[in-house]
Structure 1
Amino acid sequence: MTSLAWLHTLDHVTAANLSFAFMISTFISKSSSATTVGFSIFIIGFLTQLVTVGTFPYSSHFSKIYRVVWSLFPPNLLAKALGLLGNATATSEGKGISRRNRGECTTFEPNCVRTIVAHINILFMVHFDNLFCLLGPNGAGKTTLINCLTGITPVTGGDALIYGYSVRSSVGMSKIRRMIGVCPQFDILWDELSALEHLHLFASIKGLPPSRIKSVAEKSLADVKLIAAARVRSGSYSGGMKRRLSVAIALIGDPKLVFLDEPTTGMDPITRRRVWDIIEDAKRGRAIVLTTHSMEEADILSDRIAIMAKGKLRCIGTSIRLKSRFGTGYVANISFLGNTPGQTHNVYGITPVYNPHLELVKQFFKDRLHVEPKEENKTFFTFTIPHNREELLANFFAVLQDREKEFGILDTQLGLTTLEEVFLKIAQLAELESSSTEENLVTLNLSSGSSIQIPKGARFVGIPGTESSEHPRGLMVEVYWGQDDTGTLCISGHSPETDVPRNVRLTVNQARSRIGLYDVPVGFVIDSN
């Protein structure tokens, strides 16, 4: 039993008083007298409980007759029992069960749960007839934000206006609930009810006229392609069918604002395309807020995209704007003719015949744009062209097109970097910011065989103890960071060890070797500027 249980018990005592008072008052026919008697009994009961918290009459100083008479009022026994329970559970390490220390965790309660407050710093506007897509890694705060906007989680700071109504006002929230639809991450379905019965139920909750419910429900089922299974129990539905039904429930009643929290999770590609068509049609005449982990879905459906990380809104804009602003540049894919010797193996051996076209194209890109292939094969090249080379692209590709036959080029494609690359970059920057604040140390295994500990997220790191006559300022490496499956920042590699540049000013603390965990030296961070 915890302090929270003690609080619930007090509520039960108060409820018992009220019940007892109402029970007695029912035997009185006159309403005014019944109210007076009931209120008087409640007050007397409340006062007697306050006295019972002390020692009266349950102590050796008072006669047994007092205890018997006092116990005829049941809530007094409960109040005394709670006091005994508190004394019995008190130890040298804790105060036991009491109202004063409710919400506190003792040192010997490892499973004690405290209230966790989510801090979200968000500012954005959703336009009418638009779909606003909210992206972010797991734990970024997307679902928490939706819970705040729909009234599930109370807002402790800031405010949000939905069609002029504040989410912090109880009156405003009641107005908001009538004009929104929500499809949460999980399916709010009853296995015993069919799809048609679900829509009838939620249409009634939304306040639709009974004469319209049947036609609206059938149209909604037709939109999500569930007419054939309309009268089948939802417990036998597949995961994709349940998600489609949840989308239909969110859209029923013609809400002005719809929240779709990862609506296509668990769907096969064909069903996902159908739901995309449903969402695309549904955004006419309303505003939609969509969360997803599918970059393709966000790219196709959204009018504007926002990326969250660590509870903050990191960027917002159209897909093209985000790609041009946060992407690495342009991606050029060069495909070569299939009948060139470079794509086939020699019939007399396993070694492919040398194809001079590949080297010519590689040198052509290097001379004119100063870029190397990011990915290369015997059939194609992929180049990443930075934004600062944009002015050269028109003339460059005009020349490349004129020399296609000379280079043996089959096809040339030019496009912006993917939205996934932008997403990963934003998430990584947020992780770097968080890691630098927390000052976590991770182990970097160097190519020389030694190891050092470095601050998580550091880019340029000096290696302590490497000063010598050959390297008077010591050595340093550039650390490459990536993310694992959970989105946590991890080391993906590092550059070869090089001399610390002369323009880097070393302090005494940096030059000294500091020992970290497990007797591993700690590297010092070098400013990238």
Structure 2
Amino acid sequence: MKAKIFITTYAVILSTMFAITSTSIPISFGLKMIEEKQKSVANGLIAINGLSLGLQKGQVFGLLGPNGAGKTTTINVLSYDPFLDAPPRGETYIGGINLMENPKRVFPYLGLLPQFDVLWTDITTLDNIYVFAKIKGLSNQQTLAASDALITRLELQTHKNKRLDALSGGNRKRASVVVTFLTTPRCVLIDEPSSGIDPIGRRKLMELIHERKHNATMILTTHSMEEAENLCSKVGIMMNGELQCYNTCLAIKNKYGSGFRLEIDLLKDKIKSSSDLHMVIDKITKFLKEKCNSKCYLSNHVGIKLLYLFPPINQMLPYLFELLEKEKSKLLINEYSISQPTLDQVFNSLCKKNSTANNSQP
């Protein structure tokens, strides 16, 4: 009973501090950052350097990058984190409101799913939900309706009356998702949503984001290229605090990808020795260079599996398919596939180039 009274009192105090009310939503909603810079006092490095972007309602923007690129710092700036090493320089507008000048006006429209949960571990899942519902200004009836629907959807029914410290990391993350989407936030910041969640929970979270994205502007950071391609209308790759590229996944793969890949699986029963294998590889390589493109090359081979890389010449594809179908038996080809470089391969290539450039600097 004392715990319940404490939670209720604490929720009322927090809701008063943040002054969240049911003010009207701006007609035109989106997010804009203008020349945002954030310096880390601890090591003197620029964590975010000249980041400028504009996002509209209904858009999911995926922020990709290696560890230390500045993704989480960007989320912290956008959520007005009071524990940043130094105040950011620049302007951020959420729903037309300047975040740095009027953060309390922005809070009612903001939803945040941090990388690490910020829930209280010594109270139950439902108690945590109740506290944050009060902070968001929900009535008891609204809290019950919204939380029951989300708890059922994320399969937390058996854990809702357990203390947070008794839950696994994945179930804690699900509880944080419930807190984030209790209301209908117009700007949602999601920091590595799938970290620590099992495949079923990840799928349910992706479905929830797909459902809610139409009435919100969303930014998510992730290391999962599959997640970025499935969820994001546009992505940006961030390195050393700077945005290196910004476009759709397909446009980025077309611009930064290395053409297309030809994977070949040879007829195993026709190759009796390693010398036979090398002869077949040389024959296929010569054939492809003469008939298709002199710039193609054998990138890798493991046993009877070969990988050739071609420059980005899309007009060649129909001719290549026709040629391989005609000559596959002569070349001892069992099966083959042609594909575009994946976003993961493009990301790794950009990271490698950036690392090489940094190492070459004096």
TM-score range relative to shorter protein = 0.7 to 0.9
Cα distance in 1 for residues equivalent to 2:143 and 2:219: 26
The reply on whether 1:233 has 2:163 as its aligned counterpart is yes
Show the 5 A alignment for 1:48-197.
118-152=47-81, 153=84, 155-170=87-102, 173-197=103-127
More strand by share: 2
Q: For the residues of structure 2 that align with 1:183 and 1:358, how far apart are their CA atoms?
A: 51
Q: 1:114 to 1:410 in 2, by over 3 A?
A: closer
1:341 aligned residue (270, 276, 289) = 270
Q: Deviations along 1:310-345, whole A, 9 cap, x unmatched? A: 11111011111111111111111122345x333xxx
Q: Structure 2, unaligned stretches of length 5 or more?
A: 1-40
Corresponding position of 1:381 = 306
| 2:333 equivalent in structure 1 | 409
The TM-score normalised by the length of structure 1 is: 0.56
The Cα offsets for residues 54-87 of structure 1, whole Å up to 9 and x where unpaired, read as xxxxxxxxxxxxxxxxxxxxxxxxxxxxxxxxxx
Verify the 8 A CA contact 1:155 1:168 in the aligned structure 2: no
Q: Deviations over 1:355-413 (max 9, x none)?
A: 565443332223232222211133321111112x4333332222112223333433322
Aligned-partner residue type, residue 92 of structure 2: A
Residue identity opposite 2:262 in structure 1:
A
Alpha carbons 2:57, 2:215 under 8 Å: kept: yes
CA-based RMSD: 2.5
Q: Partner of 1:45 in structure 2?
A: none
Match of residue 15 from structure 2: none
Please say if residues 141 and 308 of structure 1, whose CA atoms lie closer than 8 Å, have aligned partners that are also in contact: yes
Once the two structures are superposed, the pairs formed by residues 118-517 of structure 1 within 5 Å of their partners are 118-152=47-81, 153=84, 155-170=87-102, 173-337=103-267, 340-342=269-271, 354=276, 357-367=280-290, 368-370=292-294, 371-387=296-312, 389-437=313-361, 439=362
CA-to-partner distance for each residue in 1:104-127, whole Å, 9 max, x for gaps? xxxxxxxx9688764422111223
Aligned residues with identical type, % of pairs: 28
What's the TM-score once normalised by structure 2's chain length? 0.79
Ranges in structure 1 where 5+ consecutive residues have no aligned partner: 1-111, 440-529
Aligned residue type for 1:188: V
Say if 1:341 and 1:353, in contact at 8 Å, map to a contact too. Answer: no
C-alpha contact (below 8 Å) 1:120/1:145 kept by paired residues: no
Larger radius of gyration between Structure 1 and Structure 2: 1
**Contact kept in structure 1, 2:77 and 2:88, CA below 8 Å:** no
Q: Take 2:327 and 2:43, find their aligned partners in 1: how far apart are those partners? A: 69
Which of the pair has the greater relative contact order for Cα pairs under 8 Å at 6+ separation?
Answer: 2
Q: Is contact 2:153–2:204 with CA below 8 Å preserved after alignment?
A: no
Does the Cα contact within 8 Å between 1:224 and 1:278 map onto a contact in 2?
A: no
Count residues in correspondence: 316
Label 1:397 to 1:290 Cα distance change in 2 as closer, same or farther (>3 A): same
Runs of 4+ in 1 over 6 A off after TM superposition: 112-117
